[in-house]
Amino acid sequence: MTLLRVRIDLAYDGTGFSGWAAQPGRRTVEGELSAALTTLLRSPEPVRLTVAGRTDAGVHARGQVAHADVDATAYAAVPGRSTRSPEDAARTRLAGILPADIVVREVSRAPEGFDARFSATQRRYLYRICDRIGGLDPLRRHDTVVVKDELDVAAMGEAATRLVGLNDFAAFCKKREGATTVRTLLDYSWSRAADGTVEGSVVADAFCHSMVRALVGSVVPVGLGRAPVGFPLDVLTARARDPRVTVMPAHGLSLEEVTYPADADLAARAEEARATRSLDD
């Protein structure tokens, strides 16, 4: 069997899922997408997926990217008797198989060296908070967290900026055996959107488990006037989980975008990303 690597760009409402990763007895994004691809390709074995960001239960995505290595012959047969390309036919047919809370934006043949997880150079997340009584749009209650008091957005932005750079984010991550917590935070900023919602944009080369929601939880006390602007940086420097930092609710978070280098640099980027990182690198 000749294998072909396929890139899948997708979005989903994370409300009804126990996260991305397949888990026995639980509804997950990976489980639904794998089942849909298995049906589409008439595969005798479940199609396995690799994803750019393994989102937690309740976290949404508008710009998720995954790849799958599939039987090239089965993939070529997806259009059937139509004149459509396998890519267009796969996207259309998946729309008829997948549940309404998952949308496949695009299916494409992955260029040589592409790895949805390791070839990525940046992941951008968005966190939404409503801080004005009566200000929550009820149609957005599943992607916006409510706080009771108004936030000082400028103070939050100043506190967030101090965390940008190459650092050990152990204080903001759930430690996993053998995994590094060194990351490069490329941008962390806060602003008030046109609808009055306070939005946090968090961009890094990669994230460890619970990192984004903990980063948000470190600056919210600053915005509420309960902690000084330097508090998040003090937590970072301590390199230990701080009980004053609340891991914010999952439903306010969305993976907005994953970026990749030029095709010629994909393999090199993947090799670099697989290497264990330290602050001495």
Average pLDDT, the chain: 95
For 226-277, how does the pLDDT look when each residue is reduced to its tens digit (9 = 90+)?
Answer: 999 999 999 999 988 889 899 999 999 999 999 999 999 999 999 999 887 7
The confidence score (pLDDT) of residue 239 equals: 87
Does 137 have pLDDT greater than 80?
A: yes
**126 pLDDT tier (thresholds 50, 70, 90):** very high
Question: Where is average pLDDT lowest: 132-141, 161-170, 254-263?
Answer: 132-141
Residue 7 has pLDDT above 80, yes or no: yes
What is the DSSP secondary-structure string of the chain? --EEEEEEEEEE-GGGSS-SS--TTS--HHHHHHHHHHHHHT-SSPPP-EES--PPTT-EEEEEEEEEEEEHHHHHTTTTTSSS-HHHHHHHHHHHHS-TTEEEEEEEEPPTT--TTTT--EEEEEEEEE-STT---GGGTTS-EE-SS---HHHHHHHHHTT-EEEE-GGGS---TT---EEEEEEEEEEE-TTS-EEEEEEES---TTHHHHHHHHHHHHHTTSS-TTHHHHHHHHTS--TTS----GGGEEEEEEE---GGGHHHHHHHHHSPP-TT-
For 67-102, what is each residue's pLDDT tens digit?
999 999 999 999 999 999 999 999 999 999 999 999
pLDDT category, 165, cuts 50, 70, 90? very high
* Model-wide pTM > 0.85: yes
Q: What is the pLDDT of residue 123?
A: 98
Q: pLDDT tens digits for 183-237?
A: 999 999 999 999 999 999 999 999 998 999 999 999 999 999 999 999 999 999 9
Q: How confident is the model at residue 175 (pLDDT cuts 50, 70, 90)?
A: confident
pLDDT reported for residue 68: 98
Read off the pLDDT of each residue in 19-40 and give the average, rounded to a whole number: 97
Place 281 in a pLDDT band, splitting at 50, 70 and 90: low
User: What is the per-residue pLDDT for 176?
Assistant: 79
Annotated active-site residue 56? The verdict is yes
Given this model, what pLDDT does residue 157 score?
98
Is a pLDDT exceeding 90 seen at residue 1?
A: no
- Catalytic one of 9, 13, 56, 115: 56
